[in-house]
A = this chain, B = another copy of it.
Amino acid sequence: MLELSGPPVAEAVYQELQTLLATLPYVPHLRVVRLGDDPASVAYVRLKDRQAKRLGLSSQVDVFPESTSQEELLAHIARLNADPEVDGILVQSPVPRQVDFNAVLEAIDPLKDVDGLTPVNAGRMWMGLEALESCTPAGVMRLLKHYQIPLAGKEVVIVGRSNLVGKPLAALMLREHATVTLAHSRTQDLAAVCRRADVLVAAVGKAGLITPEMVRPGAVVVDVGINRVGQNEKGRDILVGDVAPGVAAVASALTPVPGGVGPMTVAMLLYNTVIAAMRRRGRPTGERLQAAR
């Protein structure tokens, strides 16, 4: 059973980016906006900031109080949109209840939307146009490509239909000529649907959702789930995916949690930041970067 480990692939992405960065006469800048002090958000944002700096990007976290109004947040985003030194803008979710996340997304300049979640980027991606792609789906695709998992003509079943993962991932799989099925909480006989898959992706957020009898022997399984199921004796969160442990005995390849898709999400965020900068500011020759496919 092949373990589809994320860190080596993330490192490969970082090496590509370092090579690119060395040719640029500017340092791409990532701005992360966080509201409130939700511990998971604090940890995620710190991780992204640290990794960006480690890569050699410029990175800054703007922290706002939990009580910040939507109006104030939108004004800040407008400033970041207008700032020529800012290449990527990410607003960490979840946001407090007085803020409408979709309204925030729509306010971000699509050329700086490094999370790839604005409607413009989602639509462009679906239409096969140059876009900034949602980080987790893009990370899944890069991971599968690295391990040479065939997709063309294959049955890919995606369990979960979120705007963050399931739906954009369907677009990317379709682009690789897979036959794509989107399943979800209203799917009947989910086990039978999952068993059809050559590549099964779980992106629901429910620990142990995917059990061995739901997996065709020899299938490739991608676990996008991140579920906190308690803390260990040191007080650290125990993280498990959506895929139950027994699946490893059935699948031909499986992404571990942690250490599978998670590291790829951060790598693709930084990839998006560099790409966004190159498209907006140009390469040393003055040419604007076109999307490589």
Q: Does A30 contact B (CB under 8 A)?
A: no
Residues of B within 8 A of A184 (CB): 174, 177, 179
Minimal beta-carbon separation of A173 from chain B (angstroms): 9
What's the Cα separation between A256 and B121 when bound, in Å? 37
Residue A285 CB within 8 A of the other chain:
no
Query: Which residue of chain B lies nearest to A171 when distances are taken between CB atoms in the complex?
Result: B167
Tier of interface size on chain A: 20 to 34
A38 to chain B, nearest CB (A): 23
Selecting from A56-64, A72-80, A124-132, A244-252, the interface stretch reads A124-132
Closest to A127 in B: B163
Known: A119-B124, A129-B102. A182 touches B170 (CB 8 A): yes
Task: Give complex CA distance A157, B165 in Å.
Answer: 21
Number of copies: 2
Chain B hits for A193, CB < 8 A: 179
CB of A179 within 8 A of CB of B182, answer yes
- B121, B128, B188: which contacts A123 (Cβ < 8 A)? B121
Q: Which residues of chain B are within 8 angstroms of A188 by Cβ–Cβ distance?
A: 153-154, 179
Rounded to whole angstroms, the CA-CA distance of A239 and B154 in the bound complex is: 33
CB of A237, distance to nearest CB on chain B (Å): 29
Query: In terms of DSSP, what is the predominant structure of the interface of chain A?
Result: mixed
In the complex, residue of chain B having the shortest beta-carbon distance to the beta carbon of A131? B119
Give Cα A128 to B121, complex, Å.
15
Q: Contact check: which of B102, B128, B163, B183 meets A126 at CB < 8 Å?
A: B163
- In the complex, whether A92 has a CB less than 8 A from a CB of chain B is no
Could you say which residues of chain B place their CB within 8 Å of the CB of A123?
118-124, 126
Question: From residue 104 to 163 of chain A, which have CB atoms closer than 8 A to chain B?
Answer: 118-124, 126-129, 152-154, 161, 163
Residues of B within 8 A of A102 (CB): 127, 129
- Say yes or no: B186 contacts A153, CB within 8 Å: yes
Confirm or deny: A180 has a beta carbon within 8 angstroms of a beta carbon on chain B.
yes
A98 close to chain B: CB less than 8 A: no
Question: A177's closest neighbor in chain B, by CB?
Answer: B186
Choose from B118, B126, B127, B182 the contact partner of A174 (Cβ within 8 Å): B182
Nearest residue (CB) in B for A124 is B119
Q: Could you tell me the distance between the alpha carbons of A184 and B174 in the complex, rounded to whole angstroms?
A: 9
- Residue A51 at the chain B interface, CB threshold 8 Å: no
Contacts of A167 in B (CB 8 A): 126-127, 171, 174
- Are A174 and B153 neighbours in the complex by a CB distance under 8 Å? no
Nearest Cβ on chain B to A218's Cβ, whole angstroms = 16
Which residues of chain B are near A163, meaning CB under 8 Å?
126-128
Please give me the 9 A-B residue pairs with the lowest Cβ-Cβ distance, nearest first: A123-B123, A119-B123, A122-B123, A177-B186, A181-B181, A179-B187, A119-B124, A153-B188, A180-B182
